[in-house]
Structure 1
Amino acid sequence: MSKYKCIIFDCDGVLVDSESISTGVLVDMANQLGANMTVDETLRNLKGTSYHFCAEYIAKRINAPLPVNFEMDYRINSFEAFRQNLKLISGVRDVIENLKIPFCVASSGPENKIRLNLDVTGLLPFFEGNIFSCFAIKKWKPEPDIFLWAAETMGFKPNDCLVVEDSLSGVKAAKAGGFDVFGYTEHDYHNELEKEATKTFDSMDKLLTMLKF
């Protein structure tokens, strides 16, 4: 039996394998402006950061403000790429279907992106009504506000909840809020999570076993 009463999942990189897709779109658009970026470099430098951080990063690379329609075009292009190419993180559907306690998703992305990604991958019915977006409260990881909001709305205290994250900023946000956090390390490019997370795991097949104490 788990000591946790609620699981809070990050979305990108934990539920859906979206980060390489969205990063590919971002890099293509940035390079059209002269940013000279690669997908591998960008994943390593920007994984788990907010869109606003990414936009500032690109603006510094090109030494100029981004076009006013850049974010809108990025959303349109990335949403279309998600519809065509998005897949679940391997093993995560089995985890969701077998959880015996409440769970939700808390993500840095806008709610329409979260809903699209869950819908495309067939997970939306499991999370309907329990979707929390940083855009709704204008607070982004590594600030803990998104997880605190999710826990309170779900009816639990931080020490009753477990956060599942794959980025350093997400792990730090959970810790700052007083949560235990399991770090999913399949794409932990800098091996940063082990020293920060409560526990780490490299395959979703291991998560259900880890939840049992």
Structure 2
Amino acid sequence: MPRAEREAQILVVAEQVFAERGYQATTMEDVAERVGVTKPLIYEYFGSKEGLLSACIVSARGQLRDATERSWAAVGDDAELIDIFRAGVRAFFDFIDQHRNAFLLIQQEGVMAAQTSPLIESIREQQSAATAATLGAAPGLSSVPPEVLEGYAEVIVGACERIAVWRGRRPDVTAADATELVVATVWSGLASQLTTS
């Protein structure tokens, strides 16, 4: 198997094992056994258990960004701002559902390794920057100062993250429910920035 494919396979399995056992209880041997490779191979690719966790977070960051951008593109260029907003929020919750255990692990053990804390924050920064850029390009918001749009983006990302944590305790709340909760809470403030010109 080519190295890139093997690395991707290891990351999928590692995310599952970290989520099931927790960071501290997971060993490189656990991951190697489940993947069907040797432990030295995982060390060769990732260097350490912390390096493996970091690679999982970096991979998730890219996947989340891609999912969000696809959701915005899917609504089309002539979509209403609320539809763009809703699509981005829903993409986040759908992504979290696909990586639910790993997300909860990161939330519970966010201080587990000094190297991973900046990586977790980089996911927030990435989503905030992409959201602010998308809002800035939306009709009716082009005259809003960038710092105001950045502030709204931070509110949106923060609201999504907290609702995702809450959903971890409330499995009856669907991604659609969570999306509508965030949209209903934040939309009136964002809509107040719209101009009709």
TM-score range, shorter chain: 0.3 to 0.5
- Hey, which of these two has a bigger chunk of helix by percent? 2
TM-score, normalised to structure 2's length?
Answer: 0.34
TM-score, normalised to structure 1's length?
Answer: 0.32
- Hey, which of these two has a bigger chunk of strand by percent? 1
Q: Which structure has the greater CA radius of gyration?
A: 2
